[in-house]
Amino acid sequence: MHLEGFRVSLYVGVVAVLAVSAVAQAQTSSSSAAAVEVSEAPAVEVSEFSLDTLMSRPEQILLQNAADRYTFYIPLSPRVRLRRATLALAFTNSISMFEPRSQLRVRVNGRVVGQTLLDARNPVRELSVDIPPDLMEPGYNEMEIQVAQHYASQCENPMAPELWTNIDTSRSRLKFEYELNEIQTSLAEIPILINPLGWNPYRLTIMTVTSKLQEFDLALGAVLSEGVATSLKYRPLKVSHAVALPVPEEIGETASGRVALIGNPADADATLFGTSAKASHAVMLPASEEVRESALGRVALIGNPADADAILFGTSDKVARFLPDKIAQEIVGPYIGLMRHVADRSRFVLLISGRDRDELAIAARAFLLAGAELPDVASMTVSDTSAPEVPRYANANAIEAGHRYALSSFGVQTKTLRSGTDSVEFEIWLPPDLFVPASSALEVHLHMAYGGGSDPGSVINLDLNGEFSSAIRLVSEDGGIFLDYVISLPASRLRAGSNTLRFTAHMAPMTKSDVCFTPSSAGLVASIFDDSWLLLTEARHHVELPNLRLTARTGFPLSSPADGSELHVRTTSLNHDVVASAWTLLGKVTQLGAIAPWKVTIGTNPAEPGRHELIVGPIGELPPELIAAAPVRFGPSGLLKAVVLEMAHGQKDSKTVRRLFSVGQSLAQPQAVVQALASVDYEAGPDDRTYMLQFESPTEAGRLVTLVTSVSNSSLRKGVDRLVEFDLWGSLDGDLAVWDLSADSARTTRIGSRFHIGQPDLQSRASFFFSQRPWLWISLLVATALLFAITSVSLLRQRARRNRT
């Protein structure tokens, strides 16, 4: 709700549209006309992935009892036009299944699209289902796998243990054949064009018009990356950089050896884009990307139309060379315009421009702030922008200790649950810098009702983050109403950031000895009322860093506050790959912070005081003071050469007495590990590993340095592109992560010292400190109590002596 209001205010405060829609329409039609002339038939693309990629946590599905189901949600981008969709469902059913009555069926958006009998003689099978393309709608499509399972023709126990079917989610695959829709050149379409519903990470090319990047370009590209990332929400963003150059210009060698040099077609590592016969310009692109010819008058083709949209920015005098005169003349202020890619009409080029740098900055900022709220025109001129002040934690579901929150404030509406099928699920967001003491609890005060006729064994389960946490027994056969039913969960089980609470009703009808009894299920319902509330009893803003897991989950401290006012992104150079890596990482940080971080600073200089630093660059270019402060060592060839060995810290547990006295410690530090830091000097060729490392800033105490580095610029960029994908990002932990492109996950460890940030009071610090050292707490307490007793006795004796005298 808060976010929505925020967007509206942005819309009202930011945008003044001066563009004439007629001009835009004319431009649109002319573009379309041009496209007809030159575009090829749309290519059919194929995407295939396993079912477990659609699950929040990959796992096997076990469908049990006489009837059971499992639901997936399949995203479908509005930019996609499906040609064919198929599901190959791999499953194994029980060999006790009674074939004539047992069946599995697949429903998509409520319609059955495939079914099969469950055959006891052929239990391991694969069902291939063609999903009618017209059944799938843009957005999330519900796909339900249902089973009806029986072991006899009649009179059976519906909960018999032999009634099961296992869905192998890693072998079951969904395959889509599709085309991309031709885009509409309206700024209002941007939320559709840049949407979170893709099956793959979103690729974006940011184009600049000068051969040599400047700090200003770096900052502007960062703002645009943030804007795109905001629209994408959680979908990974991979940014690449390219430069548009006019042909006549003399081309020198760029910083990156892998960038094409215009006019030197013989260079094996370069690609010449543009045809000098038709146009007076050309574009320099990374060599590996495919290039197609432009047919849009004098507009350059930008990026790789096969898989990337593009944003071109520059002042009007620089970009005019690539634009039709009519459009170039429209740039009379901060300008945002959307154009269709000529070579691939399913791709767009977003033009950000202005007459000078200030106007250019305003336009970029407008794109960032306005996000999805741009008007339904092809281009617009922005008059001004302003950004509101936002709270430190901008998440709509954020909770603070000591406050009551009605479930309705998390979007929950009063809902009637049917046994086993429905659930009430909502998300709460725990500020990432909260220290939750051991005594703290998350209290859920539930108002609910349940129907009659249920077995006393019926329950409503409460799952926290997918784990069973508590159950409410529904004992009365007549049903009942609970007001203020208190479920108290240890708050230590909450995770920083997003937490999911889910209520599920599991109600069985009252059983009778006669198995042929047909129970009524009408009463097997329960309602959760939205005026139920929850309370986090105690927490303090105090957190221990470095913690890559915390950063990966919540972006903390990089995305806190959410407006980015405490973050500085620092690149070691203005190399294309380094810059692209920084933009990509900034996009990730933006997505974790939920809103556009318009106060982030970026550059090649060190941060101003009070900001955490995200430093991106190859090892060889890292500032010496950081190399000295880092908890790892770098070898002469620039290679990381610290090897950490971690072993589980076990305790001999043979004697009862020992067990008795070791409980406190083992409870306090359940994840204790033995670390061995080895140092090996070696010489080797460059590898393609990338490193992410966090440690306390050597220049400012209490500030975090997050270092992302690799051996070379190119390996850095590839590593960062790999990093932002869900699986790798989700596996970050400790203070050092190392990965290469082939790795399934990062190897992580903790090798540096820790420090605390936040505003902890003494009580909080002490609680934290002694929680880690329980025996010290007990010893200190006993010692002070003893001293207290001794001084008491001493004073009393003095008193007694005085009485005697």
**20 lies in the binding site for other proteins (CB under 8 A):** no
Q: How far is the CB of 434 from other proteins (least distance, A)?
A: 13
**H or E segment to which residue 659 belongs:** helix 656-668
User: 426-458 burial string, b = 16+ CB within 10 Å, else e?
Assistant: bbbbbbbbbbbbeebbbbbbbbbebbebbbeeb
Structure tokens at 119: 């055959």
Instruction: Specify the residue, 267 or 544, whose C-beta has the smaller distance to other proteins.
Output: 544
Q: How far is the CB of 779 from other proteins (least distance, A)?
A: 10
On the 0-12 / 13-18 / 19+ scale of CB atoms within 10 A, 93 is buried
Give the residues across from 612 on adjacent strands: 567
Site for other proteins in 653-682 (CB under 8 A): 663-664, 667-668
Among residues 386, 488, 605, 679, which is the contact residue for other proteins, using CB under 8 A? Answer: 488
Count CB-CB contacts under 10 A for residue 421.
Answer: 12
Instruction: Specify the residue, 43 or 796, whose C-beta has the smaller distance to other proteins.
Output: 796
Identity at 53, one-letter amino acid code? T
Site for other proteins in 408-467 (CB under 8 A): 437-441, 445-446
Distance (Å, whole) CA 732 – CA 738? 9
Among residues 537, 601, 604, 637, which is the contact residue for other proteins, using CB under 8 A? Answer: 537
Q: How far is the CB of 803 from other proteins (least distance, A)?
A: 6
With beta carbons less than 8 A apart as the criterion, state whether 574 and 604 touch: yes
Q: How far is the CB of 598 from other proteins (least distance, A)?
A: 37
Among residues 11, 70, 405, 482, which is the contact residue for other proteins, using CB under 8 A? Answer: 482
Q: How far is the CB of 12 from other proteins (least distance, A)?
A: 38
Tokens 């045809």 belong to 275
Instruction: Specify the residue, 366 or 536, whose C-beta has the smaller distance to other proteins.
Output: 536
Instruction: Specify the residue, 173 or 542, whose C-beta has the smaller distance to other proteins.
Output: 542
Per DSSP, 640 falls in state: B
Give the residues across from 125 on adjacent strands: 91
Residues 6+ apart with CB under 8 A from 30: none
Q: How far is the CB of 764 from other proteins (least distance, A)?
A: 8
Single out the residue of 704, 663, 771 nearest to residue 436, CA to CA: 771
**643 lies in the binding site for other proteins (CB under 8 A):** no
With beta carbons less than 8 A apart as the criterion, state whether 751 and 674 touch: no
Among residues 20, 112, 483, 643, which is the contact residue for other proteins, using CB under 8 A? Answer: 483
Instruction: Specify the residue, 515 or 672, whose C-beta has the smaller distance to other proteins.
Output: 672
**781 lies in the binding site for other proteins (CB under 8 A):** yes
Give the residues across from 127 on adjacent strands: 89
Q: How far is the CB of 584 from other proteins (least distance, A)?
A: 40
Instruction: Specify the residue, 93 or 532, whose C-beta has the smaller distance to other proteins.
Output: 532
The SS3 of residue 161 is coil
Distances (CA, A) of 479 to 419, 460, 476, 590: 14, 13, 5, 48
Among residues 472, 552, 692, 711, which is the contact residue for other proteins, using CB under 8 A? Answer: 472
The SS3 of residue 282 is strand
Instruction: Specify the residue, 95 or 483, whose C-beta has the smaller distance to other proteins.
Output: 483
Site for other proteins in 223-252 (CB under 8 A): none
Distance (Å, whole) CA 260 – CA 481? 72
Q: How far is the CB of 543 from other proteins (least distance, A)?
A: 15
Convert residues 744-773 into a mask of x (bound to other proteins by CB under 8 A) and - (unbound): -------------------x--xx--xx--
**Residue 518 CA, distance from chain mean position:** 47
Q: Is the peptide bond before 334 cis (omega within 30 degrees of 0)?
A: no
Q: How far is the CB of 701 from other proteins (least distance, A)?
A: 25
Instruction: Specify the residue, 645 or 796, whose C-beta has the smaller distance to other proteins.
Output: 796
Among residues 26, 475, 672, 741, which is the contact residue for other proteins, using CB under 8 A? Answer: 475
The contact set with other proteins (CB under 8 A) reads 437-441, 445-446, 472-473, 475-476, 480, 482-488, 537-538, 663-664, 667-668, 763, 766-767, 770-771, 774, 777-778, 780-781, 784-800, 803
